[in-house]
Amino acid sequence: MLSSHVSRAVALTGAAGVVVGVVAGLQQRHTDEFQAAALGEFSRPSYNPPPATYDGPVFKPRLDFPSCANPRNEAFPWLGIDFKAEPERYLRTVQDYCLEGNVECDFKVEQNRTRDWYHVPWMSSHPKGREPIHGMTMEKPSKQGMLSDSQRREVQNWAVAFYNSPGAYAVGRVWSLPWQPTQDGVAFPEGTVAFKWFFTQATEEEVPFLKGAPVWKAAIAKTPREPGDRGPPVDTRLIQMDVAIRDDRADIGWVFGTFVYHSSQSSDAPWRRLVPVCLQWGNDPDLTQQRYQEGARPVQTWNNPRLRDLGILAASRPYLGWLGRANGPVDNFKSCCASCHSTASVPDKDNKIPRGVPPNADQALRWFRNLRPGQAFEKGGTSLDYSLQLSSCTTQYNNWKKSYLQNTLLGTLKEWWLEVHPFPTTAPPSGKND
Ligand code: HEC
Contacts for 198 with CB less than 8 Å, ≥ 6 apart: 139, 157, 158, 159, 238, 239, 240, 241, 242, 328, 330
Q: Is the CB of 389 under 6 A from ligand 1?
A: yes
Instruction: For the beta carbon of residue 142, count every other beta carbon within 10 angstroms.
Output: 26
Which tens digits make up the pLDDT trace of 86-113? 999 999 999 999 999 999 999 999 999 9
Nearest C-alpha to atom 1 of ligand 1 is from which residue? 340
Percent of all residues in the chain with a pLDDT value above 70, rounded to a whole number: 91
Nearest C-alpha to atom 40 of ligand 1 is from which residue? 337
Q: Is the CB of 330 under 6 A from ligand 1?
A: no
Q: Is the CB of 388 under 6 A from ligand 1?
A: yes
Amino acid 355: pLDDT? 73
Taking 50 as the threshold, does the pLDDT of residue 81 lie above it? Answer: yes
Taking 60 as the threshold, does the pLDDT of residue 67 lie above it? Answer: yes
Report CA(403)–ligand 1 centroid distance (Å).
27
Atom number, ligand 1, closest to the C-alpha of residue 344 = 26
Amino acid 430: pLDDT? 47
Taking 60 as the threshold, does the pLDDT of residue 1 lie above it? Answer: no
What average pLDDT does range 134-147 have in this prediction? 95
Q: Is the CB of 244 under 6 A from ligand 1?
A: yes
Report CA(398)–ligand 1 centroid distance (Å).
21
Contacts for 18 with CB less than 8 Å, ≥ 6 apart: 420
Nearest C-alpha to atom 42 of ligand 1 is from which residue? 340
What average pLDDT does range 135-150 have in this prediction? 94
Global model pTM greater than 0.85: yes
Which tens digits make up the pLDDT trace of 264-279? 998 889 999 999 999 9
Q: Which is more confidently placed, 149 or 40?
A: 40
How far apart, in whole angstroms, are the C-alpha atoms of residue 152 and residue 165?
41
Nearest C-alpha to atom 25 of ligand 1 is from which residue? 387
Q: Is the CB of 328 under 6 A from ligand 1?
A: yes
Report CA(388)–ligand 1 centroid distance (Å).
6
Which tens digits make up the pLDDT trace of 16-65? 777 777 777 777 888 899 999 999 999 999 999 999 999 999 999 999 99
Atom number, ligand 1, closest to the C-alpha of residue 194 = 29
Percent of all residues in the chain with a pLDDT value above 90, rounded to a whole number: 76
Q: Is the CB of 338 under 6 A from ligand 1?
A: no
Report CA(182)–ligand 1 centroid distance (Å).
22
Q: Which is more confidently placed, 418 or 372?
A: 372
Amino acid 317: pLDDT? 87
Which of 51-65, 160-174, 199-213, 311-325 comes out lowest in average pLDDT? 311-325
Q: Are strands 215-218 and 193-200 parallel, antiparallel or unpaired?
A: unpaired
How far apart, in whole angstroms, are the C-alpha atoms of residue 108 and residue 58?
9
Taking 90 as the threshold, does the pLDDT of residue 168 lie above it? Answer: yes
Taking 90 as the threshold, does the pLDDT of residue 242 lie above it? Answer: yes
Q: Is the CB of 245 under 6 A from ligand 1?
A: no
| pLDDT tier for residue 314 given thresholds of 50, 70 and 90 | confident
Amino acid 410: pLDDT? 72
8 Å CB contact between 328 and 321:
no
Amino acid 4: pLDDT? 64
Taking 80 as the threshold, does the pLDDT of residue 8 lie above it? Answer: no
Report CA(25)–ligand 1 centroid distance (Å).
44
Amino acid 369: pLDDT? 96
Atom number, ligand 1, closest to the C-alpha of residue 387 = 26
Which tens digits make up the pLDDT trace of 243-257? 999 999 999 999 999
Taking 50 as the threshold, does the pLDDT of residue 183 lie above it? Answer: yes
8 Å CB contact between 325 and 107:
no
Amino acid 359: pLDDT? 52
Which of 195-204, 288-297, 343-352 comes out lowest in average pLDDT? 343-352
For the chain, give the mean pLDDT. Answer: 91
Q: Is the CB of 396 under 6 A from ligand 1?
A: no
What average pLDDT does range 168-192 have in this prediction? 96
Q: Which of 242, 283, 313 to mutate to test the pocket of ligand 1 (most atoms within 8 A of CB)?
A: 242
Taking 80 as the threshold, does the pLDDT of residue 358 lie above it? Answer: no
Q: So where are the chain's domains?
A: 43-420
Q: Which is more confidently placed, 178 or 356?
A: 178
Amino acid 356: pLDDT? 62
| pLDDT tier for residue 165 given thresholds of 50, 70 and 90 | very high
Which tens digits make up the pLDDT trace of 376-427? 999 999 999 999 999 999 999 999 999 999 888 776 777 777 776 655 545 4
What average pLDDT does range 365-384 have in this prediction? 94
Report CA(58)–ligand 1 centroid distance (Å).
24
Q: Is the CB of 327 under 6 A from ligand 1?
A: yes
| pLDDT tier for residue 433 given thresholds of 50, 70 and 90 | very low
Q: Is the CB of 340 under 6 A from ligand 1?
A: yes
| pLDDT tier for residue 353 given thresholds of 50, 70 and 90 | confident
